[in-house]
Every structure is written in C-alpha cells, then in structure tokens.
A and B are shown apart, each in its own frame.
Chain A
C-alpha cells in the first residue's frame, strides 16, 4: 500500500487512475472501511495539500468550499453559517466533535451513503461540485453525484475539488433535520432538508425539498417544494408537503428502522424543517 501527497490536481488524477486507488480527505470513512476490511486500497491519494482544497472562498456572492475543508472549519465561518445554516448543520451532524475536525462535506458526498447527513441540504441548495480529473475540470450538480449506496457518477481518476454554494437572495433560509434514536453519534434513519426563498409579503417564492435515507440516494422531491410555493406554510400546504414526501419515499426495512417508520418520519421532518427554514428566511407563519 502506498500513501501519496500530490501537489497538483493533474498529479492527483494520474495517481487515481491506478488500480485500487482511493482519495483521502478527512479519512473518516476510508480509514474505518480499511480497518473493517471493506476496502484495501493499493494507493491512498491525500488531496489535502492541493492548492485551494482547504479554503472557503467567496465567489459571485456564494461560497466555494474546498473538498478538504472540515465540518468544524465550516462552522467557524460566520458568513457561511448565516447564508447556509441548513447546509452547515447537516455537515455538523456527521460524527462527534473529534470527527468534525476531520470530516468533509465533499467526502460525505463521495462516500455515497443514502443516509449521509451532509448531502440533502446541498441538493436543496442547488450546490454544484467542481470535479477534477484526467481531462481537467468540470462542474456537476451535487444532486447528480450519488448514484446508489456506495456509488457515485465520478469517473476513473476523478475527484471533487470543491463545492459551490450559490449566492443567497434576500429572504432566503434553509434547514436540515434528521431522525436518530439517540441524540448524537448515530446515522440518520430519515433526513429532510428544505431551502426556501420568500416574496416580500412572506409567501414562499421558491422551495426545494430533499430527503435522505429513504431511497438508494438522497432525493430531490420537486412536488414537495411545489406544495409550499405560494403558501405561508399554512396547514394545507404543509399537509401537501408531507404527502409529497411520503409518496417519494422508497426506503428499505432494516435494523435501523422499518420502511413504514422512515416514510412517516421523513414527512414529519420535512414539515418541521420547512418551519425552521421559513423562520430563518424571515417569514412569520
């Protein structure tokens, strides 16, 4: 097994073309998988030392977050937290305080877990990943990265270099909630992210709702967002949101929860997250 610290994206991409190569950012998934024998990589490509990968930079009113930026670093950026509180709170639900010092939003995305806490709010935010690879860079919506449990649309030699969270209009807010049987240190049984933009009168102008742990990947539920548009989160709109979420769920029964439970709770979380996002956007329900 080799451990490599490439200095350029091209060098990293070339290393990742090798057999059984894996990217190391925070390592909070990879090291656990290696210890349990799930993965035995031949080459570990540490991308933390590539230019810009540990930076949060401002871009067109939005935020470009390097793939090796930890959850703790995101939490410390007050402007980022103010603009995208839901995205940051999702990332900050990953693991413990210690894990937060290492775990990254991009790594959480690339691990491909349907239950990843860092992903639904990114999808609701219309985040765009910048992918580096043997052919150079390309941009891809975060929503199109995960393709199934443990699987992504990244090609051979490709890795995520950064993720762009777009600029926020006035009167916007997002939120992420997950359900776990405990209060922390757990994996989502269901998760829901809601991103809202309000009109001046407080009616919802734009709404995006994404769910986690209820399908093979985190999913955008367009009907759920549509249910909120034009409302001030009155009961019928919330009921329509819940129905749309429940209809979109295709969960599994497993040791962490029954399909029935996940479906029900996804709707409850979406409703609650919508209220928080609405409040953050300055709305008065």
Chain B
C-alpha cells in the first residue's frame, strides 16, 4: 500500500463526536495539574521580584534570609551557569535576573522553605540594592534615538540613523512594483494602528515540582506545552545531561502558546539541587500577569490602493512590534501574515522589533498575525465603506487561491479562503437585519500551521485493546483525535484505544505542542505507527496460515488473504492476533519517529454583529459566526471549540483586554479584575461553520485549526464598531471610554 497516499475514503471514526477522554477527570477534580503533585520532604518555593521597571542590581544580600528557621535554600543568578547560547541565556536571565532587572516583576531571587510563611519571611529578608534606570514601555517611544536602552549590544546590525539600539529585529517580504500598483489605484488609503499587549489568560498558573538528588539526577513534574523543550532548556541552564533529567508533563489548564518556554522550572531545580529536597513552585496570578509572557504591543502603518470596483492594486505595511525586554522575531510572522489572504501583484511588508521594559513576549495563538491582519482588514473595510462595495465581494475578488504566490513568497496549494468567504456570504447571518446602533463587521484570518517532529508508539495489547503513547501535551483535545485516528487506521472501535502523553524518558523527542501542529503531525505519526502495526499483524496471520506476508492485507480491523490465490482463511481480527501474539513472535507495536512539512495553511472568516450604547460607549456583541477551513475535522466538537475559543479571546483583545503601565513603568492591572477577559455573559453563542478543503500534505487532509481563529476578531469587531458607532477607532482595545470619546468628538 502506498504509504501516504491521500485517497477519497469513507471514514468510520474520523468526523464523529465521541465523548472526550479527559472529561470525567476534569469535572470531578481527579485530573492532576501542575500544582497537584506533592513529594515527601517537599519544600515550598517563592520568588522575589523586581519592583522597578528597569534597574541595575548593585548587590543582593541573602544572608539574613538564609538564617530564618525553615529556610533551606536561597538562589540568585549566581547559582546558575552562564550558557554560551544567546537565546538560552535570555531565557535563563528571564528566570533569574543577571545584572539588571528589565521589567516590573522580573525575578531576582528565590527561596525554598519548609513552610509558605517561612518562605514569605525570607523574601522580605533578602536585601537587594538597585540603581534605578530610566525605562521605556511603549514601542514607538522605544525606537526613538534617545530612548533608554533596555539591553546593550543587541541592536540590529543596520539600525536606521536616528533610531534607538533597542531595535533588534528587521524583516522584509513582498514582490511586484508598488509605485506602479499605487498609480493604478482609484483610491489610496493610508492609516496607522496601535494595539496593546494581551495575555493568554490560561486558567492554570505555571506550577512545577522539582527534585534533584545528590547524584545530580533530576525529575521535574510541570505544566507545560513541551516536556522536551523544558528538559533541553533546564539541562542547558543547569549544565546537566538531558538524559539525567526526566520531565513529566502534568494535565494542562490552558496554554495558548504561553507555556512554550520556562519561567520557574530552572529555579525550582536549582533550589532543589541546593536544598537536597523536592521543591514545589507555583506562580500566583499576579506573577503570571507581571512576569510570564504576554503577546506583543504593536504599532502598524498600512497603505492600500484599490480600483473603483474593488481590485487591490498595491499594498504596503510597516509593523513595529515590541516583544518586551529580549529580542524576538514575532514581527517576522506578522509581516508574513499581514497580506496572506490576498492575491496581490504588488505587495511589501516591513517588520521591526524594539525592546521595551516589559516581560519577555511568548507565543499567544498565531503570534504576530492578529495585530497585522487587524490593521490590513480595517483599511480594506474602510475602503469598502468609501467605495460603497460589499465587504465579502471585495475579499472574494482579491482572495488568494490555489496557485497564488503569497505575499511572503510561498505559492499556495489547495486552500479554503474562497470556500470560507462563500460560506459566509451564503449564511443567514450575513443578510440578517440590524437594529439602531448596531453594525456588522467582517474579517479574514490566516495562520501558517507547522509540522515539526513527533514520536508515537502504538502498542497492541494482548486483550485486543490499543495503547498509543506520544510526547505532545494535550491542550486542545489531541488525545481524542489521536485515538480516533488510531481506531480509524486499525479498524477497531474508538473505545478500544487510549492515548497517553508520556514523560521525556518514555518516548522519543517531540517538539512542543504549538503551531497548531499536533493533530496534523502526531496524527500523521499515529497513522504511520498504526500502519506499521497492521503490517506486523498481517505477518503474524500469514505465519499462522502458512502463507507469504505480502499475501495478507488489513481490512476492517482484521487480517485477511489478499485475494483468492492467497488461500481461503476467515479474517483474523486484531483481538485474535493480539491474544496469541506472545506465542507467535512477541509483542506487537508500531512506531513512528518523524518530521513533516506540508502542514497546510488555514484561513478563516469571522462575521460579527455589535451594538454600541451611544451614551456610554458600551459594546454588546450580539451575534458571531466563525467560518474556517479545517481540511478534515477529526473530532468536530474540538474543531468548533478551537474556532469558538479563538473568537472569544479575540473579542477580549478587541474590546477590553490590555496591559496598562503606569508612569513608573509598573503594571497596574495584574489580576483578572482589571485585566478584563470576557466572562460568559459578555459573549453571544458563537456559531461555527467548518469548511473542509483537504490539505494535500496529510493522508486525511487535516489542517491545524488552533490559531487561525484568534486572527480575525480584532478587525471584525473594529469594523462592526465603525458601522454601529459611525466612527472608526484605530487603537485596541476599544474600551468604552475610547469609543465614547470618539463618538463625542465626532458629535
């Protein structure tokens, strides 16, 4: 059988909606999260954090803290090595500040003690002498020549004259003749936008339990999106061999990209190594806001030329992102994504990153794309208003399709943007009547999706059940999808398969759960592992029947002779083969340790109705519909959940979520009271329409679906507000004071 051939097939399990395997554990409280594991002799750890936005650490005196009864270890950056690798050093310095604190909340020292009270008292007894430095928290201010320099010596090699050395990253993409394109336009609109940083807002704070023995071997239990990433990073920082550190991922209470790095794990390991006892370290919500990774703050200019009938002739964008106090390349993803939905003859995007005294940015669902596409889709919408054109028709007219050379260079294979736009146009939502002070907004969205590396072992148990072991923490329902894929390939019921996520010593390397890659890539590896297992089972049947292995094929969950010439034997089921396996050649398992490209991009379209209170600027989202290409939805409930979840987070980003910094550079809203994610009653039911344009890079046609859905809401809401309030805002969030001010200014 051709291994990865994609054939039209009737699925039996894929596409159904079985009960989720983690549901009962989660609703009964049996699920073990990061903070749920304890060990004999365990110590409690607490972290001392910088009260300043930017300061030099002159001296840290821990002697008084060490003398407090119950305190077993105090660590600072002096207890860690100095890795040669720059990125690893940044990660380490973010866990424990080296010579400067770079943001309010930057860890400076940590203690482990026999009680939380002793640990708290020890923090108060640590004396840190700071030399305060001027700070900068705004991306545009940080790029100016006279801005305080966050990190010396990290400037991009060709920072333009008159700019600060805070500018660390630069990229350019595009093709065609812009000047010529703009000359062909009947209307050119050029606008600037700004968005505030937002946090992933996962419900579970970072938590871990670390134990390092006197022999230097370590064990770590933690809440993460990637146990191998944790192992490699911690081993690098603590100068251990990776094989000597076993990392077990806990159940995870949300990640959204925010758990793709380490904040506390190396600190807990260092404390445990020093104290000789297990150490538990759990961040508070305040710490999560101040010192884990939010997304970027952005400032974006967009210029688009359009003909009278809606054809885009040229498009240009400059993105200025700040990902906090260490260099990062998120601006590159924004610059690539900005115009990805469109088939353009002339397009150019430029991205810059500038350092600011904010916590180190970490991925948040489609990092870099939402803010870029917000600016682009806002300008396109404004042009539709100006020219009196239908927003869907204009997008259909310009939409990327199979064969389009994208603005970032890739030529698209089969993609589902036009299908999603057509579905939106045909949906009753698009033509439903609107009342006074109500408006309807629309936006396209895009995400690349990734493949990467993963390992899967599929064991056929002697009782006829199947255990799938894999290395990717389940943040979006992947255990269900993977069990379904295994059941589909093996031809057995879903209930006979259980998928478990293993520790770093139990299975081969798996890249972090990110980039919407797991259902695609681990699914692919599961198909391959299952096919290896079925080949082995066919060989067992052949052996029993005394015929050649290649005269046996696997059909509907059983081995059977491949044709009349192979012999006449009744099919032998998986359970039958499994029952005798230990006597016919030993245990049966299929493996796949692999890497894959071909993840297949995913496009989406969001439609949103909003009502604005003309007297207060209060917004109410009335109706919301998500259309998205899933390639092939393995478990449609989870796909819809991803579409709804991204929309909910995007609605929060658009309306009320923001990092608010005071004049002193300190974060003013480090809690869910004043960092306003939407509560359930803020959201309407979010309707979903799954579009399926199969991804040619996957045997079932699967595309990642986890990230695209957070991309369109920002512009969809802004476009809706511009129609409901009859005034366009170019800054997020569109909190009521800003909307009211804009409406009153217009009169």
- Give bound CA distance, A21 to B674, whole Å: 29
Interface of B: prevailing SS = loop
Asked if B144 is an interface residue, CB under 8 A from chain A, the answer is no
**Cβ distance B105 to chain A, nearest Cβ, rounded Å:** 15
**Cβ distance B211 to chain A, nearest Cβ, rounded Å:** 28
Q: Is the CB of A181 within 8 A of B679?
A: no
Q: Is the CB of A179 within 8 A of B681?
A: no
Q: A181-B618, A183-B682, A265-B616 are in contact. Are A258 and B737 (CB under 8 A)?
A: yes
Q: Which residues of chain B have C-beta atoms less than 8 A from A183's C-beta?
A: 679, 681-682
Q: Is the CB of B741 within 8 A of A261?
A: yes
Contacting residue for A182 out of B286, B616, B656, CB 8 A: B656
Chain A 252-285 interface 0/1 with B at a Cβ cutoff of 8 Å (1 = within): 0001111011001100100000000000000000
Asked if A59 is an interface residue, CB under 8 A from chain B, the answer is no
Q: Is the CB of B615 within 8 A of A268?
A: yes
Asked if A187 is an interface residue, CB under 8 A from chain B, the answer is yes
Asked if B115 is an interface residue, CB under 8 A from chain A, the answer is no
Q: Is the CB of B618 within 8 A of A255?
A: no
How many chain B residues have a CB neighbour from A under 8 Å?
Answer: 23
Q: A255-B674, A265-B616 are in contact. Are A182 and B740 (CB under 8 A)?
A: no
Contacting residue for B679 out of A179, A182, A256, A258, CB 8 A: A182
Q: Which residues of chain A have C-beta atoms less than 8 A from B655's C-beta?
A: 181
Asked if B398 is an interface residue, CB under 8 A from chain A, the answer is no
Nearest residue, chain B, Cβ from A271: B615
Chain A 176-189 interface 0/1 with B at a Cβ cutoff of 8 Å (1 = within): 00010111111101
Chain B 678-694 interface 0/1 with A at a Cβ cutoff of 8 Å (1 = within): 11011000000000000
Q: Is the CB of A182 within 8 A of B673?
A: no
Q: Is the CB of A179 within 8 A of B618?
A: yes
Q: Which residues of chain A have C-beta atoms less than 8 A from B535's C-beta?
A: none
Nearest residue, chain A, Cβ from B744: A264
Q: Is the CB of A182 within 8 A of B660?
A: no
Q: Which residues of chain B have C-beta atoms less than 8 A from A256's C-beta?
A: 674
Q: Is the CB of B676 within 8 A of A181?
A: yes
Q: Is the CB of B679 within 8 A of A185?
A: yes
Q: Which residues of chain A have C-beta atoms less than 8 A from B615's C-beta?
A: 265, 268
**Cβ distance A126 to chain B, nearest Cβ, rounded Å:** 28
Q: Which residues of chain A have C-beta atoms less than 8 A from B682's C-beta?
A: 182-183
**Cβ distance B19 to chain A, nearest Cβ, rounded Å:** 28
Q: Which residues of chain A have C-beta atoms less than 8 A from B669's C-beta?
A: 255
Nearest residue, chain A, Cβ from B679: A185
Q: Which residues of chain B have C-beta atoms less than 8 A from A257's C-beta?
A: 736-737
- Give bound CA distance, A268 to B660, whole Å: 27
Q: Is the CB of B616 within 8 A of A179?
A: yes
**Cβ distance A248 to chain B, nearest Cβ, rounded Å:** 18
Q: Is the CB of A255 within 8 A of B673?
A: no
Contacting residue for A187 out of B618, B660, B673, B736, CB 8 A: B673
For chain A, the bracket of interface size reads 10 to 19
Q: Which residues of chain A have C-beta atoms less than 8 A from B681's C-beta?
A: 182-184
Chain A 237-262 interface residues, beta-carbon cutoff 8 Å to B? 255-258, 260-261
Q: Is the CB of B678 within 8 A of A182?
A: yes
Chain A 33-65 interface residues, beta-carbon cutoff 8 Å to B? 36
**Cβ distance A262 to chain B, nearest Cβ, rounded Å:** 9
Asked if B6 is an interface residue, CB under 8 A from chain A, the answer is no
Q: Which residues of chain A have C-beta atoms less than 8 A from B16's C-beta?
A: none
Q: A179-B618, A255-B660, A255-B669 are in contact. Are A261 and B676 (CB under 8 A)?
A: no
Nearest residue, chain A, Cβ from B614: A268
Chain B 725-745 interface 0/1 with A at a Cβ cutoff of 8 Å (1 = within): 000000000011100110010
Q: Which residues of chain A have C-beta atoms less than 8 A from B741's C-beta?
A: 258, 260-261
Q: Is the CB of A186 within 8 A of B740?
A: no
Q: Is the CB of A181 within 8 A of B735?
A: yes
Nearest residue, chain A, Cβ from B662: A255
- Give bound CA distance, A186 to B669, whole Å: 13
Contacting residue for A186 out of B616, B617, B660, B676, CB 8 A: B676
Q: Is the CB of B737 within 8 A of A261?
A: yes
Asked if B129 is an interface residue, CB under 8 A from chain A, the answer is no
- Give bound CA distance, A179 to B616, whole Å: 8
Asked if B668 is an interface residue, CB under 8 A from chain A, the answer is yes
**Cβ distance A275 to chain B, nearest Cβ, rounded Å:** 13
Q: Is the CB of B676 within 8 A of A182?
A: yes
**Cβ distance A242 to chain B, nearest Cβ, rounded Å:** 10
**Cβ distance B672 to chain A, nearest Cβ, rounded Å:** 8
Nearest residue, chain B, Cβ from A190: B616
Q: Which residues of chain B have C-beta atoms less than 8 A from A187's C-beta?
A: 673
Contacting residue for B736 out of A184, A185, A255, A261, CB 8 A: A261
Q: Which residues of chain B have C-beta atoms less than 8 A from A264's C-beta?
A: 616, 740, 744
Q: Which residues of chain A have C-beta atoms less than 8 A from B678's C-beta?
A: 182
Nearest residue, chain B, Cβ from A265: B616
Nearest residue, chain A, Cβ from B286: A36
Q: Is the CB of A268 within 8 A of B616?
A: yes
Q: Which residues of chain A have C-beta atoms less than 8 A from B674's C-beta?
A: 255-256
Chain A 57-82 interface residues, beta-carbon cutoff 8 Å to B? none
Q: Which residues of chain A have C-beta atoms less than 8 A from B737's C-beta?
A: 257-258, 260-261
Q: Is the CB of B616 within 8 A of A184?
A: no
**Cβ distance B433 to chain A, nearest Cβ, rounded Å:** 24
Q: Is the CB of B656 within 8 A of A184?
A: no
Q: Is the CB of B679 within 8 A of A184?
A: yes
Nearest residue, chain A, Cβ from B669: A255
- Give bound CA distance, A184 to B682, whole Å: 8
**Cβ distance B5 to chain A, nearest Cβ, rounded Å:** 51
Could you list 4 further interchain pairs (A-B, Cβ under 8 angstroms) beyond the known A181-B655, A183-B682? Answer: A183-B679, A186-B673, A187-B673, A264-B740
List of 8 A-B pairs having minimum Cβ-Cβ separation, nearest first? A261-B737, A183-B681, A268-B615, A255-B660, A255-B668, A181-B656, A185-B679, A183-B682
10 A–B contacts, CB within 8 A, in A order: A181-B618, A181-B655, A181-B656, A183-B679, A186-B676, A189-B736, A255-B669, A256-B674, A260-B737, A265-B615
